[in-house]
Every structure is written in C-alpha cells, then in structure tokens.
Amino acid sequence: MTSAQHSPTRTAVPRIAVPAWAWALALLALFALYLVAQDNGAVLASAGDVAHEFFHDARHSLGMPCH
Amino acid sequence: MAATLEEPRQQTAPRFGPLLGRFALAGLAGGAASGIWAMVVTERTITPALALEEARTAASHEHSEELFSRHTQLLGGFLGTVIAAVVFSVVVAAVFAGVRHRLPGRSDVGRVAVLAAIGFAVFALLPAIKIPANPPAVGDPDTIDTRTAIYIAVLGAGVVTALLVGALVGTLRSRGLHPSAVATAAVLATVALVTAMVLLVPDSPDSISADVPAAVVWDFRLASLGQLAVLWTTLGLTAGYLVDKLARRA
C-alpha cells in the first residue's frame, strides 16, 4: 500500500460542467414530489385531496408524515 | 499530466445530458423495484392498520367515503414510489455531476454507490431514527404540520451533515492525512452531528394510541425501511453501471 498516501493530484478526475438548468430541474422535480407527496390542498386546492388519496400508500411507505 | 496515466479510462468527463438520462433510467428501475416491494411486502403490513381504521369508523357510526378503491390506491402507491425515485435520481444526477471529481472510488460504480448510500442515509435512515414511518390509523391529523416540519428539519440536518463531513474529508485529504485517519475523522464527525440532530430536533408530538398493536407499527416500519433500501440500492447500482459505461465511452 505505498500508494496509500494520497496526493490530491493522483485522483484527478475531470470536472463535469453542470449547466444551470440541471439545478433548476432538480428543484422543479422536488416541487413536483411535494405536490404528489405532501400537498394537502395548499397549492392544488381540491385536486390536492384527490392526489392525497391516490398517492396515500406511497407517502406512508416512503416514511413521509401523514395524518 | 502524470496523474492521468494511472487512470487512463477517465481522462474526459461525460456531458451532463447523457448523464441525466442514465440516472433517470436508474430512477425508473429503482422506483419499479421499490414499487413492487410496496405491493408485495409493505401492503401486507398496511392491511392490519386499515382493518383497525375500519373498526374505529364502524364503532363511531361515522360514514367515511373512500375516494378510491384499495386496488386504485395500490396503483397510486406504485406510481408514487416511481415518481419519488425518479425525482431522487434527477437530484442525485445534478449532485453527482457537481461533486464527481471529489467522490471517493476508483470507478463511477463506486462513486455513484457512495452518493446513493448518502442519499439512503439522509432520506431513509435519519428519518427512521427521529420520526419513523407510521402506518395509516396512527397519525394525528392535528399534528401533521408539526410532524412535516420535523421531517423537513431532519432531512435538512442530514444534507448539512453530508456537506460538512464532505468538506472535512476534502480538507484532511488535501493535507495529506492517511486515509484511515480521514475515515476515522469522518465517522466521528458524522456520529457527533447525528447525535446533535437527534437531541436538538423536537420529537414527534404523536403518541400511538392503545388500540394499535406494537407489531402493526413495527412490521410497517421495517417494510417501509426495506422499501427505501430497495429504492436506493437499485437506483445506485443501476446508475453506477450505466454511468461507468458512459464514462468509459467518453
């Protein structure tokens, strides 16, 4: 294990250029998950109730708080 | 350029677009595997809880109109799990692209596995310690806002912990510390931060009512944790395999 003493240059893996839209998409995806999982009528009004009941099992089994 | 001679396969970085596609595909796979677990395993632990709910409703002579049949709700459970897994995979894709050059591991299989393990720890293990999953018939509707706030605080604390420990590992490695010393420091820092989270974030205000058998809650919590484990394992291994192939081609 002579190579155990790492110098930062040894593991030089090139950076990936992350476009700004990647982070925007990640946020949008999280918001979509919020609508599916957590929204109890706050954004979607009555449609939220329908979504709530339809995705009820997923919310419980993924460990998200529910009534 | 001597450094690249040791790892000739990873001279160029993959572009983000194809990378995102690989992760999304892995998210679908993770969601499908986890959704099947939901229908086969978790569903068996929900059934006794639903029977309890029905018994309560019958005892109180209330009418509860069910919006969907049980079969439709099972489909919703499957689809909801798939959606959640794809959302996780999109977020993990962006994070992976941002930190790939700093992740440990000789290949992308290892690097993606590290990130998926962190994802499982933050989104499954930490909530299981602090605010564990409950089957239907357990939660108090009046405390849903408090419990949601606790849940989000736990996730936030997990993300902060991952960032701080990652920064610590980066700093110690750049000072040339032996990898075993870096690993020890990372473990100690993680234990300290998780302990602080458990002590500082308030407990769930709910108490489980006496008519709910402990086995119903326990079985459900195990099934739920298993479901999340299947999700993150499948997502991580599939994405690792696909991204590794992509990187070797690049």
pLDDT tens-digit readout, A23-39: 999 999 999 888 877 66
Residue B135 contacts A where some CB pair is shorter than 8 Å: yes
What domain range is A31 assigned to? 17-67
3-state class (DSSP) for residue B242: helix
pLDDT at B210 exceeding the cut of 50: yes
Q: Where are the alpha helices (DSSP H) in B104-213?
A: 108-120, 126-130, 144-174, 179-200
Mean pLDDT of the B7-30 span: 86
**CA distances in angstroms from B52 to A52, B26, B44, B49, listed in the order given:** 20, 37, 14, 5
Burial class (CB in 10 A: 0-12, 13-18, 19+), B117: middle
| Lowest mean pLDDT across B18-27, B44-53, B112-121 | B44-53
The pLDDT value recorded for residue B247 is: 92
Model confidence at B242: pLDDT above 70: yes
Q: Is residue A42 part of a domain?
A: yes
Q: For B120-151, write each residue's pLDDT tens digit.
A: 999 999 999 999 999 988 888 889 889 999 99
**Residue B59 Cα, gap to closest chain A Cα (Å):** 20
pLDDT score at A2: 44
Residue that the structure tokens 């029905």 belong to: B54
Per-residue confidence band for B64, with pLDDT thresholds at 50, 70 and 90: low
Which of B51-65, B101-115, B227-241 has the least mean pLDDT? B51-65
B35 and B78 Cβ atoms separated by less than 8 Å: yes
Alpha-carbon dihedral of residues B125, B131, B136, B140, nearest 10 degrees?
-170
pLDDT of residue A11: 52
Q: Determine the pLDDT at residue A43.
A: 65
Q: From the DSSP assignment, how many helices (H) and strands (E) are in chain B?
A: 9, 0
Q: List, as own/partner pairs, every contact residues B195-201 make where C-beta atoms lie below 8 angstroms and the sequence separation is at least 24, other chains included.
A: B197/B126, B197/B130, B197/B154, B197/B157, B197/B158, B197/B161, B198/B129, B198/B130, B201/B130, B201/B150, B201/B153, B201/B154, B201/B157
In a domain, A9, yes or no: no
Compute the distance between CA of residue B59 and CA of residue B61 in angstroms, rounded to an integer: 6
Q: Is the pLDDT of residue A41 over 60?
A: no
Closest CA to B14 of B77, B97, B95: B97
The answer to whether residue A12 sits within a structural domain is no
In this structure, of A25-39, B78-92, B187-201, the range with the lowest mean pLDDT score is A25-39
Which of B28, B81, B96 is most worth mutating to test chain A (most A CB atoms within 10 A of its CB)?
Answer: B81
Distance of CA B245 to the CA centre of its chain: 25
Query: Is A6 contained in some domain?
Result: no
Cβ–Cβ of A67/B141 closer than 8 Å?
A: yes
pLDDT of residue B11: 58
Give me the interface pTM, i.e. the ipTM.
0.84
Chain A interface includes B217 (CB < 8 A): no
> Is residue B89 predicted with pLDDT exceeding 70?
yes
Q: Where are the domains of chain B?
A: 13-138+210-250, 140-207
CA B35 to chain centre: 14
**pLDDT at residue A20 greater than cutoff 50:** yes
CB pair distance less than 8 Å for B93 and A59: no
B67 → closest Cβ in A16, A53, A61: A53
The model's pTM is 0.89
Yes or no, beta carbons of B80 and A36 under 8 Å apart: yes
Contact B229, B119 (CB under 8 A): no
Average model confidence (pLDDT) across chain B: 92
Residues in chain A with CB shorter than 8 Å from the CB of B147 are 65
- Tell me the three state secondary structure of residue B90: helix
Alpha-carbon gap, residue B64 to B54, rounded angstroms: 9
* Nearest by CB: B87 against A6, A33, A38: A33
Q: Is the CB of residue B225 less than 8 Å from the CB of residue B124?
A: yes
Q: Does A62 map to a domain?
A: yes
B144–A66 CB contact, under 8 Å:
yes
What's the total number of domains in chain A? 1
Mean pLDDT of B77-97: 96
Range in A11-15, B26-30, B33-37, B88-92 the model is least confident about: A11-15
Taking alpha carbons only, the member of A31, A8, A57 closest to residue B91 is: A31
pLDDT at A62: 93
Query: Does some domain include residue A25?
Result: yes
Q: What percent of chain A has pLDDT over 90?
A: 31
CB B95 within 8 A of CB A41: no
pLDDT at A36: 77
Question: In the structure, what pLDDT confidence band is assigned to residue A7 with cuts at 50, 70 and 90?
Answer: very low
Report d(CA B40, CA B198) in Å as an integer.
Answer: 32
How far, in Å, CA of B49 to CA of B182, rounded?
46
Interface of A to B at Cβ within 8 Å reads 4-19, 22-23, 25-26, 29-30, 32-33, 36-38, 40, 49-50, 53-67
Give the whole-angstrom CA distance, residue B79 versus residue A26: 19
Secondary structure (3-state) at B203: coil
CA dihedral over B73, B75, B80, B81, signed as positive or negative: positive
pLDDT at A8: 46
Q: Identify the pLDDT of residue A4.
A: 47
Specify if A58 maps to a domain.
yes
DSSP assignment letter at B92:
H
